[in-house]
């Protein structure tokens, strides 16, 4: 038998969880379940869920089962693929209170322009007033259309995003290019963990074959400038559509993306996959653009320091 104190603690926790909408497995009305971040894996891409702001989950309307996803886009495409829209209720986190507040997709306010784990770029809000001016407010139908368009391009490229795509690859001289260990590898330049492999970069030393990884192409460029390493290194960047490494010399580069360190350069293997609204630039233009962004960052940092 529970003690009075234990009973109060138990019922209080349960009531709180119910009010937050984080339990409900087996209830008649589908509700979201608690997610174990960095432990639960996405049903579609098999990546561990690490960013509460952009994940999603679906609850079966009758049997109480749940599936969780690393990115809202993964949930939408999985429901399309399994023809599960009539059987499941989709929940998305309020980006402003992601670990405590889930919203039915039918009730959410959607916006684009975010850096999400699988680069679908969509996040959910509870109110329109919390959406930043630089993000476009979308209806549910518009948001899902954006996701499906991105996925269609990936299908046309011959591959979906998945946890298996950073498989072993080789450089021109036969050296094995390492795969990014998402959430564990650290950028050589800024020491940030690499959370979004779609915008990562890799350098290969031509002489001793050592490899360094970066969370943004901009970090790789600035690091090579700092160590005077351009003559000694090759740079590789991931194809945004397949995550396969491309030589920087061969990649189709475009600016206007939201990248981890805000340099905004993305790579594709073909011009046809560059998203509308993005500007295609050559390698030299991309490098100079990154250098200009870096100069502005340093100037801004210096000005802030002088005001203290």
CA-nearest of 140, 142, 165 to 154 is 165
Pairing of strands 233-238, 201-205: antiparallel
| Helix intervals (H) in the chain | 4-20, 72-82, 140-156, 217-226, 283-307
The pLDDT profile of the chain, 308 residues, written as one tens digit per residue, is 443 333 333 333 333 333 334 444 445 689 999 998 878 888 888 777 889 999 999 999 999 899 999 999 999 999 999 999 999 999 999 999 999 999 999 999 999 999 898 889 999 999 999 999 999 999 999 999 999 998 888 777 655 554 444 445 767 668 899 988 877 899 999 999 988 888 999 999 999 999 999 999 999 999 999 999 999 999 999 988 778 899 999 999 999 888 889 999 999 988 887 877 889 999 999 999 999 999 999 998 887 766 65
Strand-pair partners of 39: none
Sequence ranges of the domains in the chain: 21-156, 169-307
Residue position matching structure tokens 């989709």: 90
Separation CA 175–CA 243 (nearest Å): 18
Identify the three-state secondary structure at position 308.
Answer: coil
Supply the angle between the helices 217-226 and 283-307 in degrees, to the nearest 10. 80
Instruction: Identify the sign of the CA torsion 245, 112, 68, 214.
Output: positive
Task: Tell me the pTM.
Answer: 0.58
């Amino acid at each position: 038998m529970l003690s009075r104190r234990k009973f109060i603690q138990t019922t209080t926790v349960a009531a709180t969880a119910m009010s937050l909408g984080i339990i409900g497995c087996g209830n008649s009305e589908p509700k979201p379940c608690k997610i174990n971040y960095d432990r639960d894996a996405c049903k579609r891409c098999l990546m561990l869920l690490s960013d509460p702001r952009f994940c999603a989950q679906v609850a079966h309307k009758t049997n109480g089962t749940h599936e969780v996803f690393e990115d809202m886009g993964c949930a939408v495409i999985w429901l399309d693929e399994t023809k599960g829209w009539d059987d499941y209720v989709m929940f998305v986190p309020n980006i402003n209170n992601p670990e405590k507040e889930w919203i039915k997709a039918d009730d959410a306010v959607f916006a684009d322009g975010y850096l999400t784990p699988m680069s679908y770029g969509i996040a959910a809000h509870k109110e329109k007033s919390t959406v930043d001016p630089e993000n476009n407010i979308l209806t549910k139908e518009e948001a899902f259309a954006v996701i499906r368009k991105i996925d269609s391009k990936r299908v046309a490229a011959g591959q979906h995003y998945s946890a298996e795509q950073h498989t072993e690859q080789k450089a021109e001289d036969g050296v094995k290019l390492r795969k990014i260990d998402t959430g564990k590898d650290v950028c050589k330049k800024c020491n940030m963990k690499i959370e979004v492999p779609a915008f990562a970069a890799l350098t290969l030393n031509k002489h001793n074959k050592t490899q360094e990884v970066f969370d943004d192409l901009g970090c790789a460029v600035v690091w090579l400038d700092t160590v005077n390493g351009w003559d000694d290194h090759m740079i590789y960047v991931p194809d945004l559509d397949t995550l396969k490494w491309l030589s920087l010399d061969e990649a189709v580069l475009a600016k206007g993306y939201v990248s981890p360190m805000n340099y905004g350069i993305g790579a594709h293997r073909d011009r046809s996959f560059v998203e509308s609204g993005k500007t295609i630039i050559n390698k030299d233009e991309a490098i100079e653009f990154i250098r200009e962004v870096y100069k502005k960052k340093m100037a801004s940092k210096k000005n802030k320091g002088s005001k203290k």
